[in-house]
Structures are given as structure tokens and as C-alpha cells.
Amino acid sequence: MSPGRLLRIAVAGTGAFGLNHLRVYRELPGAELVAAIEPNPGRAAEVEEQYSIPVFPTVDAALRADLKLDAASVAVPTIYHHAVASELLNAGVDCLVEKPLAATLAEADDLIAIADRNGCVLQPGHLERFNPAVLAIEPQLTRPMFFEAHRLSVFTPRALDVDVVLDLMIHDLDIVLTFARSPVREVRAVGLPILSPKVDIANVRVEFESGCVANFTASRVSTERVRKLRFFEPRRYVSVDYARRDLLVIAVDPGFSLENALALGEAGGFAEGLPGLSFSKPTVASGEPLKLEVSSFLESVRARMTPKVTARQGREALALALEIQRVMVDHAERAGLGNFFNPTGL
């Protein structure tokens, strides 16, 4: 591939999130948006008009049009990720597949095998890895031992093909797996369907082999929108606000003595807080996570490199999400929640 050539891109699925992919490809240098794939005729007509590109009802129709595609974003509902991405990868088209990589491990494994066989780049859309707050704190991690993740949304009738674990919690599962760097030892989970037939609110505790523990709460039936991850490392607390894209770090000064701190603090009436603690708000670069994610994908496509977020990491996050679903089913059975609990059915 010549380094200066524009990469020819298609976006499959032009719903709520696919529209963001379209916009970002249009705004980024180095890419030429050449087509979209969208079976909904009304939506297809809108995209055709707004972006002046052909919109095909199926992947097959787009491939038959001989568009010489280099790469595509797959932003169709999760249950169709495998069908759409496998067709593209089999045609040699590199894919950025929205999270979660697929709906089942068999599907994820198949996508990975097809990508490997065809020498294609396959990147799962774990967007928060490109959140500037995450990019700023990641190189400074020492040994996170306790995580508390909250991801709450108000209800919207979208992503109802999956439960809240595959819809929202998957972001935090991927980040914590990346930060904890240890295999999962034990999962405990409770989930409840509230408005949809699938789990809409879930609380999960994961313990890692390293002894690190993570608590996750995800809800799509909340009254407020929250996107936060807090974690403790030895002598340091970090709070990441994904939505505000900022960080708060509280560190215990080297040589800290609680006795001295209490004596000093008392003398000052604790007006300045506890002496010996430093509060900082590390600098976070500006940048839209999706733009950073898509740019990184395009770089991998151009350089034929393994992407920053690998398909195997996408599979790992999916494996944990599916284990959480299994544990939630066990819990629901123990609690006698019966038929009203159906996290994986449609």
C-alpha cells in the first residue's frame, strides 16, 4: 500500500453510533469514505444524501460493486457483528468492529481466525482505551489493587439486542483487564431486568489471581449519566471521569506519618486537609476518543500493524462478560427469580 494513498473506507450500520463513525472518517485525513451499508431504506437515503456516498443494503452488494475497500467500521447491532465482519474480512477488508467484538466466544474466535487467515487488521471498538484520561494515566500505573467502576445511563430503546453487561459494562471490563494485568480468579454477580427482558442493571465483583479486586456497576435505567472509574494503588488513589475526560490523583507523600500528619493537621484546624497528601489533576490532552480510536485503526491498516487494542483482548473482555452472565443466571436461580430473568434470549 503506498504511504500517501487515501484508504478507502465503508461504514456498515448507520444507526446512532455508525453516524459517529461516518462523521469521523469524513473529518480525518488519510481516509476516503466511499460507501455505507445499511438495510433500513429511510436511514440509507438520509446517509446517501448527507454524505454523497452510495449506500448498499448488504455487505454482499457493496462487495459486488468492486469499491476496492481497504477497511470498514462495523457498527451494526452486536448480534450481527459476526455475520457482517466475517463477510468483510473474508473479502480482505480490515475491520474496526464495535464493542463487544461478537455476541459469543465461538463467533469471536471465528472472526480472529478469519482475520489471521487473510492477514487482516481486526480491532474491537473498545473506545475508552483511547479516552485521553485513560491515555494519560496508563503509563503511570503502578499496582492497582482495588477498582470501583460506575457506568450509568438513562434508558433509551437502543442496544436491546444485548444486556447491560455487553452493552455498557464491557467498556470497564476491558479497561480493568488491561490495567490489572492478571487472570480472573473469581466472579460474583447480580443482574436484574427492569425495563427490558434482559439485564438492565448489574453489579459484579471480580477477583484476579494477583489479589486485585474490581467492583463494577452498570445500569441503563438510571436517572443520571455517570462514567467513572476509581482505583487504589499502594499509597495512591486515582479517579477517572471518562465523560469529563479528567483525572484526580491523591497520593500519600513519601515519608508520610499519620501521627505527624494528625498533629500538624490539628494545629491548623485541618483547614488544608490532612498534611502529607498531595492532590493533583494531571494534564489530559484534548481529543475525541472515537477520533483517536479510528486514527489508531487507520495507522494499523496503513502500516499493517497489530492494533493497539487487539482482537484477542476483545475476546478476553467478551469472555469475562459471558462469565458474568453465567454467574448472574446462577444467582437468579438461587434467588428464585425464575422466568423473568433471561439475559441472553431475545
Contacts to ligand NAD by CB under 6 A: 12-18, 37-40, 43, 75-78, 80, 84, 98-99, 125, 127, 158-159
| Cell numbers linked to 307 | 492494533
Minimum CB distance to ligand NAD, residue 44 (Å):
9
CB of 189 to ligand NAD, least distance (A): 20
Of the two residues 121 and 127, which places its CB atom closer to ligand NAD in the complex? 127
Q: At its nearest, how many Å lie between ligand NAD and the CB of residue 80?
A: 5
Measured from the CB of residue 15, what is the shortest distance to ligand NAD in angstroms? 2
CA-wise closest residue to 329 among 339, 317, 320, 319: 339
Rank residues 53 and 261 by Cβ distance to ligand NAD and give the closer one.
53
Closest to ligand NAD by CB, 156 or 283: 156
CB of residue 174 vs ligand NAD: minimum separation in angstroms? 11
Grid cell locating 205: 465483583
Cβ proximity to ligand NAD: between 137 and 321 the closer is 321
Handedness of CA 101, 105, 111, 116 (dihedral sign): positive
Residue whose Cβ sits closest to ligand NAD? 15
Closer of 37 and 320 to ligand NAD (Cβ)? 37
CA angle centred on 82, ends 180 and 130, rounded to 5°: 40
- The partner residues of 184 in beta bridges, in order of sequence, read 208
Integer Cα distance of 298 and 292 in angstroms = 10
Smallest CA-to-CA distance from 72 within 81, 64, 48 is with 81
State the greatest distance between any 2 C-alpha atoms of the chain, in Å, as a whole number: 78
Asked if 147 and 207 touch (Cβ cutoff 8 Å), the reply is: no
Least Å from the CB of residue 16 to ligand NAD? 4
Q: Which is nearer to ligand NAD, 39 or 197 (CB)?
A: 39
Rounded to the nearest 5 percent, the helix, strand and coil shares of the chain are: 40, 25, 35
